[in-house]
Structure 1
Amino acid sequence: MREDGPDGVETLSRAGVDVPAAPVACRRTLVERARWQWRPADGGDPAALAQEFLAAHGLPLHDLARPAAGHDPAGACGAALYVSAAAGAGLVGAPSGAANPAPALPEVAVVVYGHGPPAPPAAAAPAAGWWLGDWAESWTPRQHAEAVTAVRAAIGRGDVYQVNLVGHAAARYAGDPLPALGRLAALPGARYGGTLTGAGWAIGCASPETLVELTDGRLVTRPIKGTRPATAVGRAELLASAKERAEHVMIVDLERNDLARVARTGSVRVDELFAVRRWCDLWQAESTVSAAVADGLGLADLLRAVCPGGSVTGAPKLAALDRVAALEPVGRGASMGALGWVAPGRIDLGLTIRTAAVDADRVHVWAGGGITWGSDPDAEVAEAAAKTRPVRAALAGR
């Protein structure tokens, strides 16, 4: 197994450890101990290799139902885990789709942290020197609308029930991008707000969506589907929309099925259905599905069951991923994957919607939405624009 040493974004300032879902009480004392990154050319099963790497560094996650051992203050605290949408597709035998527009990004990254002396509070970064250029879109509004029409045709043929389509945009930048990613991570409603950095790349996340959480032996996923402007009228429209509710319930059923593959028999339940919550200037519908973890379930099998997340693929998942690979002109990169924290007794991974990535000279963003038979192409284009607007504004410093 190839292992990389402690690492950081070359030429970029170090802003401290701010991994999504990392323990709040530990963040100022976290120190990187070891790092492993994976790309398809490396070969092997990345889920199994990640689990093996974690175990070798004092974080055994081969039986998630087993109570965590007592904490060793001198040992590892936990680890950041990032899995791209393309890697997730590979885990279930689906095509990975178009090439990653930011090839400096790994497809899987694991960063193990221990504790050190408390870091000094980060000083406010000056805005001077940061420049963000114009956005270059991966497809025009017309091409996006035509892709929606193609999905509706596939639904009409009975090939799929729903497909999530995602578009990409990139902009050149100058200056240190980490303060911009920090602004993104601080957006209101970002349950998984945070950053992860590597050599020549960084990811900033403002996701509100739980891909999978494990606490006290229970697995939880919180799929989000359905969006309207955060106004009184928008909330009423979302609650009254038969199209949005049907789209949402379809994904809840898919997530119930995903959890059932790794849960104790009969333990899957829907704890909350179609709750309306706010992210920035949008209302979104969220449900909560939970299940008791099965004995002997390891992290690798859990990742194979839940990646990529159903709310950003569609249903049936494999057929939807085939449509995604055929229709999206640019790879999903850092978006629509998983990013969060893993440790014995606790896993908390967000689904990387509302996420940006940077490489040596460009910032990348992605946005999309679920397409059903009842979708209007122009409305879907407008919804994707509404989702990416707060992300782009935060990156620009507005």
Structure 2
Amino acid sequence: MRKVGPYGVETLPQVLVDAPAAPPGCRDALVERARLQWRRADGGDPATLVEEFLAAHGLALDDLARPAPRHDQGGPCGAALYVSAAAGALLAGASPGPPNPAPALPEVAVVVYGHAETPPPPLRGAGPWRLGDWQESWTPGQHAAAVDAVRQAIGRGDVYQVNVVGHAAAPYTGDPLPALGRLGALPGARYGGTLTGAGWAIGCASPETLIELTDGRLVTRPIKGTRPATTAGERELRASAKERAEHVMIVDLERNDLARVARTGTVRVDELFAVRRWCDLWQAESTISAAVADGLGLADLLRAVCPGGSVTGAPKRAALDQIAALEPVGRGAGMGALGWVAPGRIDLGLTIRTAAADGERLHVWAGGGITWGSDPQAEVAEAAAKSRPIRATLAGR
């Protein structure tokens, strides 16, 4: 296991913190204090390691029902937390799938932040930037064949729905961080921001809440159902029986996930199939909430909600088996969790609309949920539509 810390302020570069969901009032005056990174070869239970590491650095998250302590400017502020889809699959007791196409990325990263006595200096200006051509990990025909394979599995009764995701990579020259940082400015990027480490960086423009905890209440906001952001597209999305059925399956799955960690009888659907906009797409979103159970710790919460149901399918374990068999490369930074954790507050986004950089290439992932009524060509086109704004922004367009 790779641990770094605790460090003193003077031994780390002081740069502006851009972690998704970091507290706005502290964001410009935070400095890294300690870091944990975990990869599959490290062994152990990553959820338990995360909870223990945070506790060792003054962030006790062993009982999420406990009222939030008063914010102490002299102590730790909170931590950025990243959990890959592969790590989430392991927490769910399923196969992590094929290898990560960006092996420099850890599967789990935790970065503890404290308050700096003086604001960090601004980031240096970016030099020349060039992004090369994208290379897909599968052809449109192979993608369509995977959709057909899922439909056959549904016909056999193996699954009800499976989310199928593709990957693409492009070489670059220059500093990738400003390009990744631009993703956070995309319209609807509720979890816009970046997280970096030695030899890797993640940029996020996700609109989707995996799990949020505020004032003792857990909230998840699954997104399922997509159409072009036109008047006709909105009308078609609202009227689509296929999209609504796909969406309701995931709402039921998320209700069951929350029920595992909620106070009995408190799970409710606050909003169902609300249509909202992300860039040039309409998407359907629901809101599900529950009162957190007494004594619930962060590790058990991660086991219950990772990986997110909207990017796996139903039943979750069976869908993960299909994903591991059908997708040619790992999901890397895509379809995982990224956000902020602190006593009394958790806010993790699902890493859809997300890109990652290693030392040589940028990586993106996009896909969609497959049901019996899915059309393979339409699913290929939907994945391309989701990826298009990300690729354009990374290229500087």
State the TM bucket, normalised to the shorter chain.
over 0.9
Distance 1:275 1:147 in 2: 29
Shift of residue 187 of structure 1?
A: 0.7
Name the counterpart of 1:10: none
Name the counterpart of 2:57: 57
Structure 1 pair 114/15, CA: closer, same or farther in 2 (3 Å)? closer
Distance 2:173 2:123 in 1: 21
Instruction: State the one-letter code of the partner of 2:90.
Output: G
Shift of residue 71 of structure 1?
A: 2.4
**TM-score, normalized by length of structure 1?**
0.96
Name the counterpart of 1:226: 225
Name the counterpart of 1:367: 366
Name the counterpart of 2:10: none
Alignment of 1:112-127 (within 5 A): 112-116=112-116, 117-122=118-123, 125-126=125-126
Please say if residues 15 and 178 of structure 1, whose CA atoms lie closer than 8 Å, have aligned partners that are also in contact: no
Shift of residue 120 of structure 1?
A: 3.9
Shift of residue 16 of structure 1?
A: 2.1
Instruction: State the one-letter code of the partner of 2:145.
Output: E
Q: Please report the RMSD computed on the Cα atoms of aligned residues, expressed in angstroms.
A: 1.3
Alignment of 1:268-279 (within 5 A): 268-279=267-278
Distance 1:14 1:324 in 2: 40
Please say if residues 6 and 32 of structure 1, whose CA atoms lie closer than 8 Å, have aligned partners that are also in contact: no
| 2:210 aligned with 1:240 | no
SS of 1:357's partner is strand
Shift of residue 129 of structure 1?
A: 1.3
Instruction: State the one-letter code of the partner of 1:339.
Output: L
Distance 2:136 2:122 in 1: 37
SS of 2:74's partner is coil
CA deviation vs aligned residue, 1:37-56 (integer Å, no higher than 9, x gap) = 10111111000010000000
| 2:271 aligned with 1:292 | no
- What is the aligned-residue identity percentage? 82
Q: Which runs of 5 or more structure 1 residues have no equivalent in the other structure?
A: 8-12
The count of corresponding residues between Structure 1 and Structure 2 is: 391
Please say if residues 88 and 304 of structure 1, whose CA atoms lie closer than 8 Å, have aligned partners that are also in contact: yes
Q: Which runs of 5 or more structure 2 residues have no equivalent in the other structure?
A: 8-12
| 2:251 aligned with 1:252 | yes
CA deviation vs aligned residue, 1:104-123 (integer Å, no higher than 9, x gap) = 00000000000001134456
Shift of residue 15 of structure 1?
A: 5.5
Distance 1:268 1:136 in 2: 43
Name the counterpart of 1:185: 184
Instruction: State the one-letter code of the partner of 1:180.
Output: A
SS of 1:24's partner is coil
CA deviation vs aligned residue, 1:199-220 (integer Å, no higher than 9, x gap) = 0000000000000000000000
CA deviation vs aligned residue, 1:320-353 (integer Å, no higher than 9, x gap) = 0000000000100000000000000000000000
CA deviation vs aligned residue, 1:211-269 (integer Å, no higher than 9, x gap) = 00000000000000000000101000000000000000000000000000000000000
Alignment of 1:141-156 (within 5 A): 141-156=140-155
Shift of residue 6 of structure 1?
A: 7.5
Instruction: State the one-letter code of the partner of 1:322.
Output: D
Distance 1:15 1:331 in 2: 31
| 2:17 aligned with 1:17 | yes
Shift of residue 5 of structure 1?
A: 3.6
Please say if residues 307 and 335 of structure 2, whose CA atoms lie closer than 8 Å, have aligned partners that are also in contact: yes
| 2:69 aligned with 1:69 | yes
Distance 1:251 1:14 in 2: 41
Distance 1:27 1:339 in 2: 16
Alignment of 1:1-398 (within 5 A): 2-5=2-5, 16-116=16-116, 117-122=118-123, 125-126=125-126, 129-398=128-397
**TM-score, normalized by length of structure 2?**
0.97
Please say if residues 163 and 312 of structure 2, whose CA atoms lie closer than 8 Å, have aligned partners that are also in contact: yes
Distance 2:15 2:338 in 1: 18
